[in-house]
Amino acid sequence: MHIFYTPQIADGINTLSEEESKHCVKVLRLAKGDEISLIDGAGGYYLATIEEANPKRCSFSIKQKTEGYGQRDYSVHIAIAPTKNIDRIEWFIEKAVEMGIDEITPLICQRSERRSINTERLEKIILSAMKQSIKAYKPRLNPPTSFDDFVTAERKGQKLIAHCMETDRKSLKSMVGAECEYTVLIGPEGDFSPEEADLAVKNGYQCVHLGPCRLRTETAGIAACHTINLLKQE
């Protein structure tokens, strides 16, 4: 069944946005009486029927509502340095959303080769991945944040920094336990600097590795996201 994003449904608005209406009526050629699925980004999943197939304001009637659809008892926040090739970070975001992620922060580091991103485009990728994987909760995309500002901010739960330096590091797998909130820092192509790693540790972050292989930034982000999800869902 076709899925549409309807954050305005919580305000009692039973129409698709103009963009979603056009996709529904013009692209998918759905008509009055056809059934559709809706997600509101806040845990609501709806079954509905099209009442008016208007390509600018497609209206619907709700037949069934499920609250807390796909809700988990833990959260994953990946703060990751945008890659020089923006396609790679876009791929990370798409797959992380499909896999299960709650918050993403583009992290600007000392060795970052990219310091700006198109947040509007990334939001569209998030929405597309949500609908593809039937996620009722919309992950939060934060604005690009400097490394120093990020690690010195107060955060709850397990705080981890993944890097490739030859220091005392534990496996990420061994750090996933009873905590409900996980924040993982993933560095740029040149890795975090020693000064950044030291600052993170001073602010309560624990150093971890993601296995014996050296991974690309976007691969490391996916590995971290998958590891936490896999272990918490056992």
Q: What is the pLDDT of residue 58?
A: 96
> Measured between alpha carbons, how far apart are the two ends of the chain, in Å?
29
pLDDT in tens, 27-74: 999 999 999 999 999 999 999 999 999 999 999 999 999 999 999 999
- Shared domain for 85 and 17, answered yes or no, is no
**pLDDT at residue 233 greater than cutoff 90:** no
- Shared domain for 108 and 197, answered yes or no, is yes
- Shared domain for 145 and 210, answered yes or no, is yes
- Shared domain for 104 and 195, answered yes or no, is yes
| Positions of E strands within 81-226 | 103-108, 140-141, 145-146, 158-162, 170-171, 181-186, 206-209
**pLDDT at residue 234 greater than cutoff 80:** no
**pLDDT at residue 1 greater than cutoff 80:** no
Number of domains comprising the chain: 2
**pLDDT at residue 168 greater than cutoff 90:** no
Whether the Cβ atoms of residue 56 and residue 18 lie closer than 8 Å to each other = yes
CATH number at residue 157: 3.40.1280.10
Q: Could you give the percent of the chain with pLDDT greater than 70? A: 100
Rounded CA separation 40/123 (Å) = 15
- Shared domain for 94 and 168, answered yes or no, is yes
Among the candidates 47, 66, 85, a domain finishes at 66
- Shared domain for 114 and 175, answered yes or no, is yes
**Listed residue (50, 221, 4) closest to 229, CA to CA:** 221
Q: What is the pLDDT of residue 74?
A: 96
Rounded CA separation 137/103 (Å) = 11
pLDDT in tens, 147-164: 999 999 999 999 999 999
**Domain, as residue range, for 15:** 3-66
- Shared domain for 103 and 57, answered yes or no, is no
- Shared domain for 158 and 224, answered yes or no, is yes
At CA 28, angle to CA 23 and CA 31, rounded to 5? Answer: 100
What pTM value is reported for the model? Answer: 0.93
Q: 174-211 in b/e burial notation, b at 16+ Cβ within 10 A? A: ebbeeeeebbbbbbbeebbbeebbebbbebebebbbbe
CATH number at residue 20: 2.40.240.20
Averaged pLDDT score across all residues of the chain: 95
Q: What is the pLDDT of residue 81?
A: 97
Q: What is the pLDDT of residue 210?
A: 94
- Shared domain for 141 and 47, answered yes or no, is no
Q: What is the pLDDT of residue 10?
A: 80
pLDDT in tens, 80-110: 999 999 999 999 999 999 999 999 999 999 9
CB neighbours of 12 closer than 8 A, spacing ≥ 6? none
**DSSP summary character for residue 8:** G
- Shared domain for 51 and 93, answered yes or no, is no
- Shared domain for 84 and 199, answered yes or no, is yes
- Shared domain for 119 and 206, answered yes or no, is yes
3-state secondary structure of 68: coil
Q: What is the pLDDT of residue 11?
A: 82
